[in-house]
Structure formats: structure tokens, C-alpha cells
A = this chain, B = another copy of it.
């Protein structure tokens, strides 16, 4: 519980940018996933780093939990104030501070969204490549080490954040990294805060690596007779060194859901969707090489596109997948799980998961970022059926265990939040204790997003 005196101090600092209204608290107590409503005691809307620092000093003095909030698009309940306290909504710190076109980097505030940033970059010929699907905030994407469809080419947030400004629990403001492309000057604090889910500090500024907008983009979709054929094609493509910008897998159930949703007529088979970025001749050559490899592994029904509108049509299968899947069972709610395995184990991980889903009776299409070995199941359950909820949770649980048994991780890109905390010991062993020791050193009172990530 946040004390009245703490709320008073915060209100004095922030004026009407501190809200205790039920609607604001409820807005910040919801998640995009299946977690129950968990409103914070109040919602703060800082507009500067100094305000964030002052809020943290006030909350440290009174032992009040502080939970940073970006765009609220996380899937594992990361930003829910499960121990009460203040929700720190950073959406009003949303400026693009500086774009250095020559160095292909930008300094931004954490509240800017991915789409707003790319809109602002459009005229520079540059773009920020990490694309988790949702229009998440850049700060939130860093905090959860997000990635998505383009990670196979451009990496995750770990690879695309080169520096941070962070406010620590006690209000100290630090800067990590420089604008140099690389450095060997001491511990990689940038990398430590990326993926720390608001438990070590509050990110108040980011320096991002940008990419040049590709001269040419070429996309394709093709169907495979079998999951194994699709995965083998991906492995061979990677080994041949063909630089894919995106390579996505959707299973037959997803293809059927998209057909029903948008009147498409994809065959009821597993599909790969692929995209190449580069010069016109390079993407043409890559497309041809990929086509040969894919055909060797049983691909049919190739559909290529280089024009934007045609590409968008092809990719609609992927972009509409989540909504199509939700619509395929009206009234249902989804648990969207996320695991990542070594690519050599992907076919096994997916086919065992499909068998498990089939045996469960629950509809649960599978799709994912196959170039990274990362895949999701959209577990559709009747919210009002405790039995279906249990079945869905059981499926998600066995997916996580299977990923670990195959040498993988319980989350490739969604993060730990509340949903995956129970697997940290199994994945990390004693290294999990080390995470706790680092947390205790940086946030000895444990006020930053308590109950998440660490033991």
C-alpha cells in the first residue's frame, strides 16, 4: 500500500499528472494477456528524467513499489503492480531527441512507440528494425529484450540498443554506453538493463542503432508438405549464408483461420513466409536460391512479390494471424506462449507440441520466427471454463518444459513477467541466485517492479 504522505508528496511534485482515479488505475492494471485486473495505487506521468529521479527518491524513502509502464502491450504481466505502489507511465516522455544520420543512430525517450519512431525516421532513409508486432514503446521493448520477425537479420533489442540513461532506485541518474559502435570499457551495463523488466532501474533515454531502408524488398510465401520440410529448408538457407530479413512459420491451423477471416485460400498446410532486403539484384538472387532450397524440401505454391501492395497481401497471413485465430473461436481468450529452441530441435519441438495440442482438444494454432527457433502457440480457451484454462496452462507448461529439455529457453522474446517466473530455476539453476544478488546490490529495498524476474 502506498501511504497518504507518499501520495501527497507525489501529487505536490506532479500536480494532475498523478492520478488515483479508478479508471486510470484500472487502465494500468490490465494486461494484454490472461492475468486478473491488478490496479496500482496511483499512476504517475513524469515528463522528464529529473521527475523520474524525484519520484524514485520519494518512493525509496517510503518503501513504495514503482512499476514502469510503456504501452501496456507485454504478454506476461510484466507491468502489473502485484505488490501495489505507483505505476510509472512513461508515455509522455515520447520525444525523438536526436537522429544522427551519418552514424545511423538516434537518441529517444522511452515512451516513443515503434511506429511513431519509424514515421519520424522515414525522411532520413533510415529505420529502426526491431518489430515485435505490437506498437510497443521503445523503452518497454528494451526492458523486455523484445525482438520479433526481423531478429534473424537485425538482431533483438540487445543488439540494437547501444546506450541508455537509467534512473536507479535511489534516484541516481546514470548513463551507459557511448555513441561509439563498440567498446571494451568495463561491464556491459547497457546489456544488463536491456531485459531487466524494470527491476534494476527505470530507462529514461535510449540510444538506438538504425538501419538503412533497403533499396529493394522481395517477399514470398510457400506451402510445405510437412513441418520437417519447412524447418529443413530454413536450416539449409541459414547455412548457405543467404541473408533473410524475415522468415516466419505458420501451421496449417493458422492458414485455415486466415482463410476464414479474410477470404484467402491458402492450402491447409504449414507455410513459410520470407522476406529479403538488399539491392535489386541481390534480393532477386537470394529469392532464387531460397526457391531452389525450398523446392528440394517439398515446397509448393510459390507466390513472390516485390511491390509493396503485393507484399502486404502476402504478409497479411502473418499480420492478421493473431486476430484471425482469435476470431476462429468467437468468445474465446488466448494464452500466447513463447519458447525458443536451437533450430535443429525446432521440428521436434513444434511437432510434439502439435501432438500435445491435438490430444488436449483445445484449438491452438502455432506460428513463429523460425529462423531463430522461436515459436508461439495461441491457446484458445473459453474464459469462463476453469477446465479449459487448466488445459491451456498445462499445454503452455509442457511447451516450456519441452523447450528446456531440448536445450532452449522458456521465452525467446516475451520475457518473464509473472507468467514465466516459475521456470527461472529450471532454466538458470544457480545463475538465478546470481540475478537476485545483482538485484539486491542495485535495488536493496526491492522497490522496482517487485515480484518479477528474480527469486
Residues of B within 8 A of A341 (CB): 180
- In the complex, 20 of the A-B residue pairs with CB atoms within 8 angstroms, ordered by the A residue number, are A104-B238, A146-B184, A147-B182, A175-B429, A178-B408, A179-B407, A180-B407, A182-B340, A182-B374, A184-B413, A184-B415, A185-B423, A185-B428, A186-B416, A186-B427, A211-B241, A241-B278, A243-B243, A279-B289, A438-B441
Q: Does A247 contact B (CB under 8 A)?
A: no
Query: Is residue A282 contacting chain B, with contact meaning CB distance below 8 A?
Result: yes
Is A372 engaged at the interface, CB distance under 8 Å to the other chain?
yes
Whether A281 contacts B278 by the Cβ 8 Å rule is: no
Q: Are A424 and B185 in contact (CB under 8 A)?
A: yes
The answer to whether A342 touches B100 (Cβ under 8 A) is yes
Q: Name which of A15-23, A113-121, A151-159, A326-334 contacts chain B.
A: A151-159
Would you give the shortest CB distance from A52 to chain B, in whole angstroms?
15
* Size category of the binding interface on chain A: 35 or more
Which of B184, B211, B342, B415 interacts with A105 by CB under 8 Å? B342
**Which residues from B are CB-within-8-Å of A187?**
192, 195-196, 200, 435, 438, 453
Does the CB pair B156–A182 fall under 8 Å?
yes
User: Once the chains are docked, how many angstroms separate the CA of A168 from the CA of B438?
Assistant: 13
Q: Is the CB of A99 closer than 8 A to any CB of chain B? A: no
Chain B residues whose C-beta falls within 8 Å of the C-beta of A424 in the assembled complex:
185-186
A191 nearest CB neighbor, chain B only = B191
What copy number does this chain have within its complex?
Answer: 2
Q: How far is the CB of A444 from chain B (nearest CB, A)?
A: 10
Contact present for A427 and B185 (CB under 8 Å)? yes
A172 engages B430 (CB within 8 Å): yes
Contact assessment for A180 and B409 in the assembled complex, using a CB-CB cutoff below 8 Å: yes
Query: Cβ of A105: which chain B residues have Cβ within 8 Å of it?
Result: 342
Interface residues as binary, A401-433 with B (CB distance below 8 Å gives 1, 0 otherwise): 001000111111111100010011001111110
The answer to whether the Cβ of A9 comes within 8 Å of any Cβ in the partner chain is no
User: Which residues of A are interface residues toward B (Cβ below 8 A)?
Assistant: 100-105, 125, 144-147, 151, 155-156, 158-159, 168, 172-176, 178-189, 191-192, 194-196, 200, 211-212, 214-215, 235, 238-241, 243, 277-279, 281-282, 285, 289, 338, 340-344, 372-374, 403, 407-416, 420, 423-424, 427-432, 434-435, 437-438, 440-442, 453-454
- The answer on a CB contact under 8 Å between A340 and B183 is yes
Neighbouring B residues of A243 by C-beta, 8 Å: 243
Which chain B positions have C-beta within 8 A of A430? Answer: 172-174
Cβ–Cβ < 8 Å partners of A146 in chain B = 184
Q: Contacts A102-B343, A184-B412, A186-B424; is A407 near B178 (CB within 8 Å)?
A: yes
Is the beta-carbon distance between A411 and B173 smaller than 8 angstroms?
no
Residue of B nearest to A199 (CB): B187
Known: A195-B186, A411-B183. A431 touches B100 (CB 8 A): no
A375 to chain B, nearest CB (A): 11
A145 with B188: in contact, given A125-B239, A278-B241 (CB under 8 Å)?
yes
CB distance B183 to A434 under 8 Å?
Answer: no
Docked complex Cα distance between A109 and B429 (Å)? 21
Given contacts A239-B104, A342-B179, contact A184 B145 (CB under 8 A): yes
Separation of A152 and B15 alpha carbons in the complex (Å)? 49
Cβ-defined partner of A432 (8 Å) among B186, B240, B423: B186
Chain B: CB-nearest residue to A371: B181
Inter-chain contact B215/A412, CB cutoff 8 Å: no
CA distance A210 to B316 in the complex (A): 33
Residue in B241, B278, B440 whose CB lies within 8 Å of A212: B241
